Structure 1
Amino acid sequence: MSRHDTDSGASAAIGAALYALATRATRRLPRDMSLTSAATLATLARTGPRRITDLAAVQGVTQPAMTALVRVMEESGLVERQGDASDRRVTLVRLTEAGASYVRTRHRAGVAAFERLIDGLTGDEVDALMAALPALEHLAELDTEDREGTRR
């Protein structure tokens, strides 16, 4: 079913439920760094080394703000800058092992929090979530494409 085939009321109800769930999930995460920092680390884990300008665009912040954020994460040992072999004028930001470990730990904590909640659902509710997994995964892909400007 495409967006055009979906009842707008259903889209609104699903959107509201997903937004509420995402907001609650965000509040459960450790508060040891900003959401933008954590999202930047997750982007680097998912996509590999990136230019600061690319990271700024993906995160919706200015280049100077991303430069400052990268500097702080670099001082914390979570990222490092490296030259681009294909263009020596370009500097890329990449995760260090400490940064990758942080992303994995944060991901595991988030998954565990949802596992605890899912354990409280009925069997039918778990089955409904399992049936919805392909759609949820597709939503995540669409979001990534939209944020990274790769959507057609």
Structure 2
Amino acid sequence: MIDISPGSALLAVGLERLYEALRRLTPRDGLSLTALSTLKRLARLGPQRLSELHAAENVTQPAMTQLVARLGRDGLVARGSDPADGRAVVVSITAAGRDLVERRRVGYAAALDAVLEKLRPADREALIAALPAMERLAEATAAEGREVAEAASPAREVRQAC
């Protein structure tokens, strides 16, 4: 049984609702969330082994292989051999992939801006003030990786602490 603090339970619900709402702002251009996340990762971190990508995106290696093949056909990524291990595949983002990531980022920011304009100034300021904590949460979540996701599997019994 997993103990969950009341604050974590509230944050989980709030962040899930926010995630769902923000997903609706994402342009519908046929690019999956995993594909976009993979492109953003490559743009941010540089070339990655296929094995690193599948682990980071929490998908199977065959699924990532298929995704990289599609992104390659679309000219968004390039595949190559790892200089340290010729058997390993290294994936890098192309200029077209970078352009796509940037266009989507600008479009997303514009859509978010329109929503933020509807909020009270105090709410907008509170969101901006929370950015450093959200960044630390994102970094901590990334550092924990797959182990946390597996530990929090819906198959496990969860108990909320009172």
TM-score scaled by structure 1? 0.84
Structure 1: segments with no counterpart, 5+ residues: 1-6
Distance 1:118 1:35, change over 3 A: same
> Among 12, 16, 29, which residue is 1:15 paired with?
12
Alignment map for 1:1-152 (pairs within 5 Å): 8-31=5-28, 32-147=30-145
**Which amino acid letter does the alignment assign opposite residue 7 of structure 2?**
A
Worse overlay, 27-36 or 40-49:
27-36
Distance 1:29 1:81 in 2: 27
Distance 1:147 1:111 in 2: 27
Give the paired residue count. 143
More helix by share: 1
Residue 44 of structure 1: SS of its match in structure 2? Answer: helix
Q: Is the 8 Å Cα contact of residues 58 and 146 (structure 2) preserved in structure 1?
A: no
Residue 28 of structure 1: SS of its match in structure 2? Answer: coil
The Cα shift of 1:148 comes to 7.5
TM-score scaled by structure 2? 0.79
CA RMSD of aligned residues (A): 1.9
**Which amino acid letter does the alignment assign opposite residue 141 of structure 1?**
E
Residue 51 of structure 2: SS of its match in structure 1? Answer: helix
**Which amino acid letter does the alignment assign opposite residue 20 of structure 1?**
R
Distance 1:148 1:95, change over 3 A: farther
Structure 2: segments with no counterpart, 5+ residues: 148-162
Residue 92 of structure 2: SS of its match in structure 1? Answer: strand
Q: Is the 8 Å Cα contact of residues 81 and 89 (structure 2) preserved in structure 1?
A: yes
**Which amino acid letter does the alignment assign opposite residue 71 of structure 1?**
A
The Cα shift of 1:12 comes to 1.8
Q: Is the 8 Å Cα contact of residues 75 and 97 (structure 2) preserved in structure 1?
A: yes
Using the aligned pairs only, state the percent identity: 40
Distance 1:72 1:129 in 2: 37
